Amino acid sequence: MWAFRGKCVTGPKVKHQRDLRVKMVTSPKKTSQVVRFTEGVSAEELTQPGLKTNGSSTGVRMFHRLPKSQPIKIEFDDLTYTVAASRRRGQVTRERKTILDGVTGVFRPGQLTAIMGPSGAGKSTLLNILAGYRVRNVEGSIRVNGTARSLQTFRKIQAYIMQDDHLLPHLSVDEAMMAAANLKLGPGFTHHGRRQVIDDVLEALGLSSSRSTRCVRLSGGQKKRLSIALELLNNPPVMFFDEPTSGLDSNSCSSCVSLLKTLAEGGRTIICTIHQPSSRLFQQFDQLYILARGSCIYRGTRPNLVPALAAAGLHCPGFHNPADFVMEAASGEYGDWITTLVAASRNGKSTQWTAADGSPAARRSLQDTCHSTDETQPGGTDSISNGAAAAVAPSGAGSALAESASGEPSVAAAGEPGSSSLLLGEAETGAVVVSGASQRLDAGREPFTTSATTQFCVLLKRTCRSIIRDRMLTMSRLASHVLFGLMIGSLYLGIGNEAKSAYNNAAQLFFAVMFLLFGALMSTILTFPLEMSVMKKEYMNCWYSVKSYYLAKTVADLPFQIVFPLIYDVIVYFMTSQPMELDRFCMFCLMTILTALVAQSVGLVIGAFCDIQLAVFLGPITMIPIILFSGFFVNLSTVPVWLSWLSYLSYARYSFEGLMLAVYGFDREDMHCSVPFCHYRSPKKFLKELDMLESDYWTDVLALSVMTVLLRLVGYFVLRYKLKLER
């Protein structure tokens, strides 16, 4: 059941799935669009700009203003991927487990290709390798439009939509889209131009009415469509989808696959992994690439699947969903057919069943831009071995990609604003529509569309917005500083100048250190790993650099790490009657702020290093030795020499010492004694007792500052390393 603007199109008009096929047709010369449907849709519906499925729009519409792109054909030969085999106890083994075993295939523009196979067959692995998400331990070759794939160039023209929708929960749809547009559309786009592109994409994907809805409140289907919308902004000609229908109900699945089909019909190369599609979904796929145990058992069109299986001796019973049947066969339910089917498809090399050759538009366009599938490119193969070659693939790939559909090597500057149409749909002339703003595909080594400064500014704004919108966390942080401040202030009320309460006052200062350390550490640890998944997706899709992200992330939280300790300081300092001297108060505040900053840096390192489960354990655990060597529990002069070096690594030591010196140092006069004898009437005596008399406040400031900077650098490199490791 399809509907337009909420109106259902059912009954005699729509008889078959094929009737529902939408063809977007436009003339490159005309600015107005003609929307042509196959049979079954009334004339007045042709004028409707949006298309809705099951009451929710999954619209199909020409996007006038997106950057232009061009068709991309991906070929891969003898792809093999191995991982280290698990070690048996007490045994060092060099054996490797083969996940993909020399598979070959071609994915063409204008086609929706499904990579199918039972669980563990290697679908996601193949997708990741083709998308460039995985490069280590990969052997074989990948060509893009007949030329060796340059990972750098390819990353700019592909989008990878992950199985889970990694979205920032507190941003609205519109805000998420605007941030993406600011990052992905070049400087040539004005604010108005970006707005128009966003409007087009949201309208087309049926998200216009959800503009102001926060991502966290979107339905599963809407989240999926938003994930696609975000990637569509720069009109990537290649889109990879990992299990796009997972977690969706049958209607949302259908809407989602229809959308993918429409994107493919516009000339894009759409590749998705899918487990076991219903027969309704299955009908939508043009090409199938079926894997079993890391080998290809079928490569060809969907209608050819049953004949191909029959030719190999495996007969699909009538009325049986071919998708189910082939999955059952691949799982071994009818005996061991895998070897036979792999041999029949020659592990993907056979082109016997790949009759269709892309949409006519894409095909014609490719004739100008590509070499034949089976042509061997002398020296043009991106031989990937242990990832090394992928990284140094010739930049010539970029120029091949950059050629226009007419074969002319003309690609306008990145982000150049254009006025009409894009790759989605076919021109009446049959050529793929490529007019309008264009994407620069060979813009040197820099893979990002926007400058580092722009990336930083956009990310800073977005991160600040996310922090403020995360009311629960932000208010909890604020409330905890106020409440603990009042609690400590009440508990140690007016003791700051009382000689008999010197130890209590030191305990109060030590508590401030603990509270600020844990507060800043845990708030970072709890949020950073969750943001990392969003960051990873966006970084892999070339939105921005790690550097820009990390800098924005660290700077965005800075005001909070300054304001919250200040609130605590004001309450505690005055309630506990510390010396009423401005410079001492400023030194006190500086020390608490540095304490929060160093703890935040530790949180960034731990958050970048491990997932949230491990991080919430590691964070507090790593604090134990830091606290132990702070000088509060043990007089540091009594620590054995072989352990004393640890105290120099303890940032709690510098914080505690700094606070003590701010309050008792700098020749403070004797304190008030309300009893006959006070041992620590002289602040110097008290500092000497704690082995702090010779210490210097500014050395503590320097130590904490250096630690903050170093830890932030460590966090940055850990983040980079983690991203590299995952590939």
C-beta closer to ligand ATP: residue 273 or 439: 273
Q: How far is the CB of 342 from ligand ATP (least distance, A)?
A: 16
For residue 22, state whether it binds ligand ATP (rule: CB under 6 A): no
The residue whose two tokens read 């599963």 is: 220
Q: How far is the CB of 85 from ligand ATP (least distance, A)?
A: 9
Q: How far is the CB of 275 from ligand ATP (least distance, A)?
A: 6
CA atoms of 544 and 541, how far apart (whole Å)? 8
Q: How far is the CB of 118 from ligand ATP (least distance, A)?
A: 7
The footprint of ligand ATP on residues 272-301 (CB under 6 A) is: 273, 275
The footprint of ligand ATP on residues 79-108 (CB under 6 A) is: 83, 99
CA dihedral 359, 361, 362, 363 (to 10 degrees): 80
Q: Which two tokens stand for residue 379?
A: 């020296």
Under 8 Å between Cβ of 269 and 120: no
Q: How far is the CB of 293 from ligand ATP (least distance, A)?
A: 9
Q: How many CB atoms are located within 10 Å of the residue 589 CB?
A: 18
CA atoms of 589 and 14, how far apart (whole Å)? 72
> How big is the site for ligand ATP, counted in residues (CB under 6 A)?
12
C-beta closer to ligand ATP: residue 23 or 275: 275
Strand 269-274 and strand 238-241: pairing? parallel
C-beta closer to ligand ATP: residue 128 or 435: 128
Q: How far is the CB of 121 from ligand ATP (least distance, A)?
A: 4
C-beta closer to ligand ATP: residue 83 or 343: 83
C-beta closer to ligand ATP: residue 130 or 443: 130
CA atoms of 673 and 653, how far apart (whole Å)? 28
C-beta closer to ligand ATP: residue 122 or 658: 122
CA atoms of 271 and 326, how far apart (whole Å)? 19
CA atoms of 595 and 586, how far apart (whole Å)? 14
C-beta closer to ligand ATP: residue 123 or 223: 123
Return the ∠ at Cα 719 (arms to 714 and 723), rounded to 5°: 150
Q: How far is the CB of 325 from ligand ATP (least distance, A)?
A: 18
DSSP H helical segments within 576-611, as ranges? Answer: 582-609
Q: How far is the CB of 393 from ligand ATP (least distance, A)?
A: 23
Q: How far is the CB of 248 from ligand ATP (least distance, A)?
A: 16
Under 8 Å between Cβ of 618 and 611: no
Q: How many CB atoms are located within 10 Å of the residue 676 CB?
A: 5
CA atoms of 51 and 204, how far apart (whole Å)? 7
Spatial strand order in the sheet of 238-241: 158-161, 238-241, 269-274, 111-116, 287-292, 295-301
C-beta closer to ligand ATP: residue 117 or 415: 117
C-beta closer to ligand ATP: residue 120 or 332: 120
Q: How far is the CB of 337 from ligand ATP (least distance, A)?
A: 18
Under 8 Å between Cβ of 501 and 578: no
Task: Quote the crossing angle between the two packed helices 546-575 and 502-540, to the nearest 10°.
Answer: 160
Strand 383-385 and strand 147-148: pairing? unpaired
- What's the Cα-to-Cα distance from 287 to each of 109, 270, 415, 621, 672, rounded to whole Å? 11, 10, 33, 53, 87
Q: Give the end-to-end CA distance of the chain in Å, rounded to a whole number.
A: 41
CA atoms of 111 and 265, how far apart (whole Å)? 7
Q: How far is the CB of 242 from ligand ATP (least distance, A)?
A: 8
Q: Which two tokens stand for residue 514?
A: 């603990």
The footprint of ligand ATP on residues 371-400 (CB under 6 A) is: none
- What's the Cα-to-Cα distance from 467 to each of 416, 515, 531, rounded to whole Å? 33, 21, 11
C-beta closer to ligand ATP: residue 244 or 267: 244
Q: How far is the CB of 273 from ligand ATP (least distance, A)?
A: 6
C-beta closer to ligand ATP: residue 269 or 295: 295
Strand 2-4 and strand 7-9: pairing? antiparallel
CA atoms of 578 and 508, how far apart (whole Å)? 11
From 112-120, 347-355, 449-457, 531-539, give the range in contact with ligand ATP by CB under 6 A.
112-120
The footprint of ligand ATP on residues 691-710 (CB under 6 A) is: none
Q: How far is the CB of 124 from ligand ATP (least distance, A)?
A: 3
C-beta closer to ligand ATP: residue 128 or 449: 128
The footprint of ligand ATP on residues 65-84 (CB under 6 A) is: 83
Q: Which two tokens stand for residue 714?
A: 């460590």
Give 69's contacts (C-beta < 8 A, 6+ positions apart).
157, 235, 236, 237, 268, 422, 423, 434, 438, 439
Q: How far is the CB of 80 from ligand ATP (least distance, A)?
A: 13
Taking residues 113 to 142 in sequence order and writing x for each that binds ligand ATP by CB under 6 A, - otherwise, the string is ----x-xxxxxxx-----------------
Q: How far is the CB of 137 from ligand ATP (least distance, A)?
A: 8
CA atoms of 516 and 599, how far apart (whole Å)? 8
Give 315's contacts (C-beta < 8 A, 6+ positions apart).
309
Under 8 Å between Cβ of 484 and 592: no
Give 634's contacts (C-beta < 8 A, 6+ positions apart).
628
Residues making contact with ligand ATP (CB under 6 A): 83, 99, 117, 119-125, 273, 275
